[in-house]
Amino acid sequence: MSDDSADYRAAKALVVFSGGMDSAVALYWAREKFAAVATVSFAYGAKHNAVEHRHALKTCAKLGVENTLIELPFIGQHFTSSLLAGGAPVPRGDYNETNMASTVVPFRNGIMLAAAAGFAETRNYDYLVLGNHGGDHAIYPDCRPEFIDGMAAAIYSGTTNGVRLLSPFCRRTKSAIAKIGKELGVDFSLTYSCYEGGEIPCGECATCREREKALRFIGE
């Protein structure tokens, strides 16, 4: 996951950055820890990819951080999920296993982390940082601690420079992440969290509701 006592000051990190709350906090967290930081984003055919990436670029511009967008069109072309363009409607309501099962994009984090690992190896980054959190565990198997541990081992052994995967919030709640973000000075107004993908967030999907609850927890 991560070691809060570790000294990363001589290392370089690549942050997997969607433009949402969790990945924004992960980016700010990495900037505090590492000598150099860059971000990588993925377009995989999700309804929210375009608007989310525009927000990601706003945060990167504010921080002076480089962003690279990698296209993964085969996911939208061949996989099934209500998050993907042309898929079923995104469920409304709070996160729960029954309600949100349709939003699983099969092995999404595995695919993105594999691509990010190759990119990190190419650019000689020492670490990959992923902002997944504990609230995702019940629904998304590729967010769970055992998945992160397995991918970390595969990435480290499968890269010539031994890229290490960090998941600093894997066992934290969304509200706890929001609190960390507030302490780090994250500008949450530049982030985007809505599965519908409209310019104005719907306010009704699970990620909108979870975001609102977390921001309310920290008084924003």
Q: Mean pLDDT across the chain, nearest whole number?
A: 93
Q: How confident is the model at residue 96 (pLDDT cuts 50, 70, 90)?
A: low
Q: How confident is the model at residue 139 (pLDDT cuts 50, 70, 90)?
A: confident
- The closest of 41, 44, 63, 64 to 54, measured between CA atoms, is 41
Q: How confident is the model at residue 14 (pLDDT cuts 50, 70, 90)?
A: very high
Domain-embedded: residue 87: yes
pLDDT of residue 6: 76
Domain-embedded: residue 56: yes
pLDDT in tens, 164-176: 999 999 999 999 9
Domain-embedded: residue 125: yes
* Residue 84 contacts residue 49 (beta carbons within 8 Å): no
Domain-embedded: residue 2: no
Pairwise pLDDT comparison (34 vs 95), residue with the higher score: 34
Q: Average pLDDT for residues 23-35, to the nearest whole number? A: 97
Domain-embedded: residue 27: no
Domain that holds residue 142: 12-21+34-95+109-217
Domain-embedded: residue 28: no
pLDDT of residue 95: 65
What is the DSSP secondary-structure string of 157-210?
A: HHSTT--EEE-TTTTS-HHHHHHHHHHHT--GGG----SS--SS--S-BHHHHH
Check which CATH number belongs to the domain holding 162 and give it.
Answer: 3.40.50.620
pLDDT of residue 1: 58
pLDDT of residue 133: 87
Give the C-alpha separation, 197 to 123, whole Å: 31
Domain-embedded: residue 6: no
Work out how many domains the chain is built from and give that number. 1
